[in-house]
Amino acid sequence: MSWKNGLWSYNPERSHAEEQVATFLYDAEVKNFQSNMPVPLEIRPDLVFFNVQKPYRCLAVFIDGQPHNSNVSKAYDEALTFILERHRIKVLRFSHTGSFSAKRLQEICESIKEYLV
């Protein structure tokens, strides 16, 4: 089974933007992440990295689409970020309105790499 088949079959409802980021990271040799992996309180980030710099225990990456733009969703996301950071989990959020440009994918990759060891 290929990496992509394993990743996408585990979460078939993954958005196109999430798939773009995961594929870009994988192609950029950043392959040490897990998808839809629960962290404390069963919160499921889109991508989780465990090889991160201290003081963090892991890095949780969320790829937020249009459903996250409402005030209620923003407040919920802020609360989740607060909870995760209290558990020493670094949270990165990237919003999108569809597909990411190659330049934006590179920026996301670089932002993630800043926290990896």
Question: pLDDT tens string for the chain (117 positions)?
Answer: 244 545 544 566 678 888 899 899 999 988 888 887 888 788 889 899 998 988 999 999 999 877 777 888 889 999 999 999 999 999 999 988 878 899 999 999 999 999 998
- 3-113: CATH architecture: 3-Layer(aba) Sandwich (3.40)
DSSP state of 52: B
The residue extents of the domains of the chain are 3-113
* Helix 102-113 / helix 16-27 crossing angle, nearest 10 deg: 60
Contact in structure between 46 and 18 (CB atoms under 8 Å): yes
CB neighbours of 103 closer than 8 A, spacing ≥ 6?
Answer: none
